[in-house]
Amino acid sequence: MPAYLTGVYLLLVFLDISSGSRLRQEDFPPRIVEHPSDLIVSKGEPATLNCKAEGRPPPTVEWYKDGERVETDRENPRSHRMLLPSGSLFFLRIVHGRRSKPDDGIYVCVARNYLGQAISHNASLEVASKFLLTFVWFFLLSFFVVGVLAMPLKKKDAKHQEGFIYQTLHLTNRISGSSQTTPKYVSY
């Protein structure tokens, strides 16, 4: 190869490398922009643990439960857990029983790209017991019933709330021994 072509080749290689490094300067490591929150869910119900990460190149997201990697529909099409495009973990139904590994535990999402990784805050997923659900429903229902029963009492005398009721009271004046009728205005 002639010397001048070797120089041109080296110049092209240099330009290619330098242009590639400019693209890499725009890359940045992942960071979690939406952390998952604690959940209490009934057995058999759907649930979502949210996680959203950003980075350049876009990070891959994995979930861990109690320190072990969570298997999703991407690894096992029969899984009841789905990794959503946003990075959130969706449960088709919450599993809690003797036959299969229960879903309750401490979860974290981990976002990775070639520049590093970011780990979310811990989020606990608890499976609600029947007793707890009954208590919560009873508590909410009691507030509803009290509110409904109190409504007629508030509206019952609505026409009298703006004005006064004229009442005639018979007062006995024990000192003078006389009886007199005195009008009195009573405000409601």
d(CA 66, CA 139): 32
Rounded to a whole number of angstroms, the distance between the first and last alpha carbons of the chain is 107
d(CA 45, CA 134): 16
pLDDT tens digits along 125-141: 999 875 555 566 666 66
- Assign domain 23-132 to its CATH architecture: Sandwich (2.60)
Residues 96 and 17: beta-carbon distance below 8 Å: no
More confident of the two residues 142 and 35: 35
More confident of the two residues 164 and 104: 104
Quick one: tokens of 12? 């092209």
Query: pLDDT-derived band of residue 55, with 50, 70 and 90 as boundaries?
Result: very high
Domain ranges for the chain = 23-132
